[in-house]
């Protein structure tokens, strides 16, 4: 259903007899000097042979809601859309007000997560309108926010393509038996070919083709993209949200730590690439692999004579994995307002259980390695049940510390579970698939 076409949007609408066209509007909806907004207003006005026809339609439409006929008032917030008639140019004009890139407000290092989510929300709202109006069979969509609003074309197109595709897929999964009967038949992304943008769009589309053919959900952000967006969000907007000084610094520290201990998370980009399903599977496999690494170490240490150098390497891996899992879970709590957690409750519970088992096993390995390297103590598998139940000998300072850490881990996971579900249960949106 998704195709890419090159040219001016008003010409594509005429050529393919498009039912609805998306306009890159500003919050007043009164038109502007930008390419798409200017062209669509002009085309609708000419179709009725009236100057400012579309402006008057919009003012009439929203007069009762805003109690004003002034032009310069906010009729549509950023990230939202409204629909009006399109004169004789087309049936409908869907006015989408995209976000301004953070670069347009003084940040030269990329985009914040809220800015990216607003752009994705624009496309979600567009699709809702298309499904709501049953007489729309074809629609032409420009690349929102890629012009004067400052988004890089390739990134803006990737967000738009993935967002539209995912909404189509959700609708198909929700109404699979009736999806072929919906009125919407064709979605055209219209590219004004500047700086080889059309070729860039075609190349990006080809990168997602395999995901589309599998009918898997797609993603537009890599691990690095997401972490940069979270950093920018904290840097730009934390003080507006009420996070000051230590809280803001701690949240930024979490982002840095997620970069440092992000090796396992980075693997989802390597194996999952742009496929949301494969990325989720990769995360699950990684969690189980991390759980079996300490199991292997426990069997090795308790049954064989292990070289000290190998123990040091093993302890590095175990401590790295422990810190990776711990910082990930802390981020779930303290970055909950900018991250997007899984909406599947059972999966979330299972992953937390696996994470808890992994951390407990990591602590056991550290306990065994310290005992062997510094105290020359040999433990058997059966002795570990005493550790798990808290019955380890307390004659050594090391044991007291390990026991204290073990109790802290249990309390930490209980806090994570309570925080995670209290933060997200009400805002979750569940899918039938």
Provide the number of structural domains found in the chain.
Answer: 2
- Domain membership of residue 246 (yes or no) is no
pLDDT tens digits, 183-226: 889 999 999 877 789 999 999 999 999 999 999 999 999 888 99
Whether residue 188 is found in the same domain as residue 331 = no
Q: Are residues 273 and 216 in the same domain?
A: no
Task: Specify the pLDDT at position 364.
Answer: 84
Mean pLDDT of 338-348: 72
Look at the block and give the residue holding tokens 């299972």: 350
Give the mean model confidence (pLDDT) for residues 378-382. 64
Residue 160 sits in the same domain as residue 214? yes
Instruction: Tally Cβ neighbours within 10 Å of residue 10.
Output: 23
**Domain end (from 205, 220, 235):** 220
Q: Are residues 203 and 319 in the same domain?
A: no
Q: Mean of the pLDDT values across residues 42-64?
A: 90
Task: Round to whole Å and give the CA distance between 234 and 125.
Answer: 26
C-alpha to C-alpha distance for 247 and 219, rounded to whole angstroms: 30
Task: Please enumerate, as own/partner, the contacts of 403-411 that have beta carbons within 8 Å and a separation of 24 or more.
Answer: 405/363, 406/360, 406/363, 409/356, 409/359, 409/360, 409/363
Q: What pLDDT score does 106 carry? A: 60
- Segment among 2-16, 328-342, 409-423 with least mean pLDDT: 409-423
pLDDT of 160 strictly over 90? yes
Residues 210 and 265 in one domain: no
Determine the structural domain holding residue 361 and report its residue range: 261-424
Beta-bridged to residue 85, according to DSSP, are 92
Average pLDDT over residues 382-398: 55
* pLDDT: which is higher, 144 or 304: 144
**CA torsion through residues 129, 134, 136, 138, sign:** positive
282 in the same domain as 205: no
Q: What does the alpha-carbon distance between residue 157 and residue 281 come to, in Å, rounded to a whole number? A: 26
d(CA 86, CA 378): 81
Residue 56 lies in a domain: yes
pLDDT of 174 above 90: no
Residues 316 and 190 in one domain: no
Residues 210 and 356 in one domain: no
Domain boundary among 170, 192, 220: 220
Whether residues 284 and 140 fall in one domain = no
The torsion angles phi and psi of 96, rounded to 5 degrees, stand at -110, 125
CA 158 to chain centre: 13
349 vs 143, which has greater pLDDT?
A: 143
Per-residue pLDDT, 404? 59
pTM for this entry: 0.86
Q: For position 106, which CATH number holds?
A: 3.40.220.10
Is residue 242 domain-resident? Answer: no
148-157, 358-367, 404-413, 424-433: segment of lowest average pLDDT: 424-433
**Are residue 34 and residue 143 in the same domain, yes or no?**
yes
Pairwise pLDDT comparison (30 vs 378), residue with the higher score:
30
Residue 227 lies in a domain: no
* 212 and 296 together in one domain: no
Q: Which of 187, 202, 220 is the last residue of a domain?
A: 220
Residue keyed to tokens 């062997």: 372
Both 197 and 327 in one domain: the answer is no
Among 139-148, 267-276, 302-311, 404-413, the range scoring the smallest mean pLDDT is 404-413
At 137 the pLDDT is 93
Share of the chain above pLDDT 70, in %: 84
**333 within a domain of the structure (yes/no):** yes
């Amino acid at each position: 259903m998704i195709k890419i076409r090159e040219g001016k949007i008003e010409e594509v609408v005429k050529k393919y007899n498009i039912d609805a066209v998306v306009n890159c509007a500003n919050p007043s909806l009164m038109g502007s000097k930008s390419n798409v907004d200017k062209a669509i207003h002009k085309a609708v006005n000419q179709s009725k042979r009236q100057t400012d026809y579309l402006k008057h339609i919009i003012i009439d439409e929203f007069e009762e809601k805003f109690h004003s006929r002034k032009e310069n008032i906010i009729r549509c917030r950023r990230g939202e859309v409204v629909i009006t008639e399109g004169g004789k140019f087309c049936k409908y004009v869907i006015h989408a007000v995209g976000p301004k890139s953070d670069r347009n407000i003084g940040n030269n290092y990329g985009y914040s997560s809220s800015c990216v989510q607003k752009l994705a929300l624009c496309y979600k709202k567009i699709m809702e309108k298309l499904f709501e109006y049953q007489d729309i069979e074809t629609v032409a969509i420009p690349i929102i926010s890629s012009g004067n609003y400052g988004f890089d074309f390739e990134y803006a197109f990737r967000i738009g393509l993935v967002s539209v595709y995912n909404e189509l897929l959700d609708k198909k999964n929700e109404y699979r038996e009736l999806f072929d009967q919906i009125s919407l038949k064709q979605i055209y992304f219209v590219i004004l070919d500047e700086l080889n943008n059309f070729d860039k769009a075609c190349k990006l589309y080809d990168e997602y083709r395999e995901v589309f053919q599998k009918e898997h959900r797609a993603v537009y952000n890599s691990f690095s993209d997401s972490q940069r967006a979270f950093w920018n969000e904290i840097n730009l907007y934390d003080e507006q949200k009420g996070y000051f000084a230590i809280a803001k610094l701690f949240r930024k520290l979490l982002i840095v730590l997620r970069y440092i201990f992000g090796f396992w998370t980075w693997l989802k980009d390597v194996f999952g690439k742009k496929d949301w399903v494969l990325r989720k599977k990769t995360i699950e496999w990684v969690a189980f692999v991390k759980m079996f690494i300490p199991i292997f170490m426990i069997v090795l240490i308790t049954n064989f004579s292990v070289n000290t150098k190998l123990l040091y390497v093993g302890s590095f891996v175990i401590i790295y994995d422990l810190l990776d899992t711990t910082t990930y879970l802390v981020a779930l709590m303290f970055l909950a307002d900018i991250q997007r957690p899984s909406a599947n409750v059972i999966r979330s519970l299972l992953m937390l259980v696996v994470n808890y088992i992994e951390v407990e096993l990591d602590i056991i390995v550290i306990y065994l390695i310290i005992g062997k390297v510094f105290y020359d103590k040999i433990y058997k598998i059966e002795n570990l049940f005493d550790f798990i139940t808290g019955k380890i000998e307390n004659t050594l300072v090391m044991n007291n510390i390990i026991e204290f850490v073990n109790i802290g881990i249990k309390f930490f996971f209980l806090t994570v579970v309570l925080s995670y579900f209290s933060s997200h249960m009400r805002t979750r949106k569940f899918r039938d698939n």
